[in-house]
Structure 1
Amino acid sequence: MKRKAEGKPGSPSTKKNLQFTGVNGGYESTSSEDSSSESSDEESDSSEYHEAREKLPESTIPHQQIMHTLEQDNNSVPQKTATDPPAICQGQQTPNQSPNVDTKLPEEVVHSPAPETIGKTTYTTVLQEWLRVSCHKAADPLMVKGYMDTFATVSPQLLEFIINMADGNGNTALHYTVSHSNFPIVKLLLDTGLCNADKQNKAGYTAIMLTALAAFHSDSDLETVLQLLRTGDVNAKASQAGQTALMLAVSHGRGDMVRALLSCGAQVNIRDDDGSTALMCACEHGHVDIVRQLLSVSGCDATLTDNVSLQLLNLCPLHQEQGPNT
């Protein structure tokens, strides 16, 4: 595991963004610190940890803006051919840009023959309406429940199909609602028992990974997070760097999420693509309390080294505080 020559553990220059494919078609950072940290992004390229900054994206979408976007998309969809892949913009958004829900068709719909009863245009119309209702930051739980009850009245299969619909970036309603910390709607989705909590978006992140940076406002929010963690695979790895939700929570000093993940079976010795563990990550970022927390877990192996054989004690803040002979 490489370290930047300059910069202290936990400093912004040692961090990378955890990005999930955003609502405008580009990669969008999920974070919880001020947008002034944008200036340090370019300096973070040497970090081994692909985590998010500490400020959740400002994603409250005005109703008029959504409707304007949906009207444009609806007019363009019938003109696409069955072989046209969804356009994915790789550009990153500016901090003050208000994102729109990406209503492009996912690749599996574009490249696969749709059922006779659901053509491409019908699919897109349903997707647009579902995302409009459920996926913006100010979404109304009562309205979302009304839609879900209507779908369930038709058939449980229809409800399952719609709540797991993904936009052109692979984001489902669960991705969006977790990212926006809209836990009342997260609970509505989970209570159906039909949500696919392990679905990765195009950036390779599941909704469980996004909880590592979500903001909890009440005990009920935390209970909903625990419900989500028990629904899916807490040890799944992101495709970008092979990190788990535990590593992401550790990187940002989220002791509450570390406790929640450990209580739901998160494994401490899993390695990312660079061979690093959650304990190494905690040491590098100087999160002493989390280091102690991880070391208290039965089976936590402090003797592991990463792919470049970096010694854990050289990173550990406890070792630096107490001296090499302790």
Structure 2
Amino acid sequence: MVLSMFSGLSSFTCYPLLVSGCSALLVTSLQEKPPSLSSFQAPEAASETQSFLQQPAGKPAGPLDLSQLGEHELVVREEKRVSISWSRDASPAPLMRTSGTTSSASNKKSASPESKLTSSSDSSASVALEISQGARKKSSTPLKSSQSDGSQVTVIERETAPTKAQLHKLAMSESEPRQKTEIPKELQDAVKIINNSLLKKLGSKPISSVSLKTAKTTIQDHWFRNSSTGTSNAHEVEDYLDYFESLSVPLLEYCVNLVDKNGNTAMHYAVSHGNFDVVSILLDSKVCNVNQMNNAGYTCVMLVSLAKLKQPAHRTVVERLFQMADVNIRAKKHCQTALMLAVSHGNSDMVAMLLAAGADINIQDEDGSTALMCAAEHGRVDIVKHLLSHPDCDSLVQDVDGSTAFKIAWQAGHRDVGLLLYVHEQMLRSKLPNRGDSARSSLRQNRQPSH
């Protein structure tokens, strides 16, 4: 009957313990110990099991003959278990892996007892190493393992993480200062002449026009060579600006907005080369004239509308430029805006950024064309969709020939674009039935004569 009561205790394995005529069962508690080398070695027969059955004197102890047990007799064995507690994180403990291949594993089966013992020691060391490294093995932070004899839990502690105050102190610590760019002596002399002329200092000697022209040429040569190439270093440009500002703010403004024989400034060259680090430095000067046109009648905003942005940081710089500039200025030639140029070159990213910066979507050039007409003529479906989604987009505007964007797209053979424009036109006509043909008068009001 006792046997049937404890038939569900599958965690116990029966070993020789004879209980005769008893209604109670003595179960010894299980002792948990941390892993050791002996845990991976073959246990000795004497230490593995403690037998409570008294053997007859003079007769060697052997396996118990279970056929001699009575009907109400129970055999119980005491076992020792090994438990490892994972306390670093909630991830599973690492699996025990061996570095050998399948063939090497088969060779170990025929190895000598000495080699088996060495292998057991190596596996024990590898297990301890995996435990010290952690399950994820991503952190190189040294770990501390604290374990006491007879303890049931192995505690693995990480080094104390730095506090916020320590991190803040580290971030605010002064780094090694950058070596400043040396300003050439020739440039220093020329800059002082221009600075005296700008400030018109009392008591200073009159400056001849020849001296001023020579000084200006010297400054142009050094300044454009430093700031206006595709490989210009932003730190060197910043050092030059710091030197100019140390003398006077008017001198800084004069040098930043210097033009070459084609009317281009350092900003024109920086956006043309896509050197947005230099663009950012020039914007930081607070004196850069971002609306200045070159001899061809283009501003830096018009030139940057053709650029391709390769990094998120460049996008931030261009957004700053658009906020500081007038994005609706029309070029001297053909009266095109930066939005029209971006559309005609298929630069959809710049189109979105210009519209977000407040670009007028319905401005017309000298032929009466709008940005929508440019997109329709070139069959740029994505840009047409983006323009039509703008709440101020007017697809009923006509050019000097009386054509709308729909008619232009249809004549150019872009049927898919024409269908989109036709639907938009019909929607506008239903909302504005009395609008009439005001496109030509609107063109006369908004049109700017070319120079």
Fold shared by both chains (TM-score > 0.5):
yes
Mark the CA change 1:115 to 1:213 in structure 2 (over 3 Å): closer, same or farther.
farther
CA distance in 2, matches of 1:249, 1:149: 35
Offset of 1:290 from its aligned partner? 0.7
Q: Verify: 1:205 aligned to 2:274, yes or no.
A: no
* 1:268 paired residue number: 361
* 1:245 paired residue number: 338
User: Any unmatched runs of 5+ in structure 2?
Assistant: 1-205, 427-451
Q: Verify: 1:229 aligned to 2:322, yes or no.
A: yes
CA distance in 1, matches of 2:325, 2:421: 41
What amino acid sits opposite 2:286 in the alignment? G
Q: Verify: 1:298 aligned to 2:406, yes or no.
A: no
* 2:237 paired residue number: 144
Q: SS where residue 162 of structure 1 aligns?
A: helix
Offset of 1:115 from its aligned partner? 7.0
Offset of 1:319 from its aligned partner? 4.7
* 1:46 paired residue number: none
Q: Matches of residues 287-326 of structure 1 in structure 2 within 5 Å? A: 287-316=380-409, 317=414, 318-320=416-418
* 1:185 paired residue number: 278
* 2:440 paired residue number: none
CA distance in 2, matches of 1:323, 1:130: 49
Mark the CA change 1:209 to 1:195 in structure 2 (over 3 Å): closer, same or farther.
same
CA distance in 2, matches of 1:149, 1:159: 8
* 1:283 paired residue number: 376
CA distance in 2, matches of 1:311, 1:224: 36
User: Deviation digits for residues 206-260 of structure 1, max 9, x if unmatched?
Assistant: 0000011112121110111111111111000011110000000011111110011
8 Å CA contact 2:379–2:417 kept in 1: the answer is no
Mark the CA change 1:158 to 1:300 in structure 2 (over 3 Å): closer, same or farther.
same
CA distance in 2, matches of 1:138, 1:168: 21
Identity %: 44
User: Deviation digits for residues 35-61 of structure 1, max 9, x if unmatched?
Assistant: xxxxxxxxxxxxxxxxxxxxxxxxxxx
Offset of 1:322 from its aligned partner? 6.9
CA distance in 1, matches of 2:352, 2:422: 29
* 2:220 paired residue number: 127
Q: SS where residue 201 of structure 1 aligns?
A: coil
Rg larger for: 2
User: Any unmatched runs of 5+ in structure 1?
Assistant: 1-113
Mark the CA change 1:180 to 1:115 in structure 2 (over 3 Å): closer, same or farther.
farther
* 2:265 paired residue number: 172
Q: SS where residue 316 of structure 2 aligns?
A: helix
8 Å CA contact 2:376–2:384 kept in 1: the answer is yes
Q: Which has the higher contact order (CA 8 A, sep 6+)?
A: 1
Offset of 1:310 from its aligned partner? 2.1
Offset of 1:140 from its aligned partner? 0.9
CA distance in 2, matches of 1:279, 1:233: 20
* 1:25 paired residue number: none
Offset of 1:116 from its aligned partner? 5.8
* 1:256 paired residue number: 349
CA distance in 2, matches of 1:324, 1:270: 21
The range that moved more, 179-188 or 140-149, is 140-149
Q: SS where residue 302 of structure 1 aligns?
A: coil
What amino acid sits opposite 1:249 in the alignment? A
Offset of 1:323 from its aligned partner? 10
Q: SS where residue 213 of structure 1 aligns?
A: coil
8 Å CA contact 2:376–2:417 kept in 1: the answer is no
Mark the CA change 1:323 to 1:219 in structure 2 (over 3 Å): closer, same or farther.
closer
What amino acid sits opposite 1:300 in the alignment? C
Offset of 1:309 from its aligned partner? 1.4
CA distance in 1, matches of 2:421, 2:391: 25
* 1:215 paired residue number: 308
What amino acid sits opposite 1:171 in the alignment? N
Q: Which residue among 145, 152, 156 is the counterpart of 2:249?
A: 156
CA distance in 2, matches of 1:322, 1:250: 17
TM-score (norm 1): 0.62
CA distance in 2, matches of 1:294, 1:322: 11
CA distance in 2, matches of 1:178, 1:239: 19
The range that moved more, 285-294 or 312-321, is 312-321
* 2:99 paired residue number: none
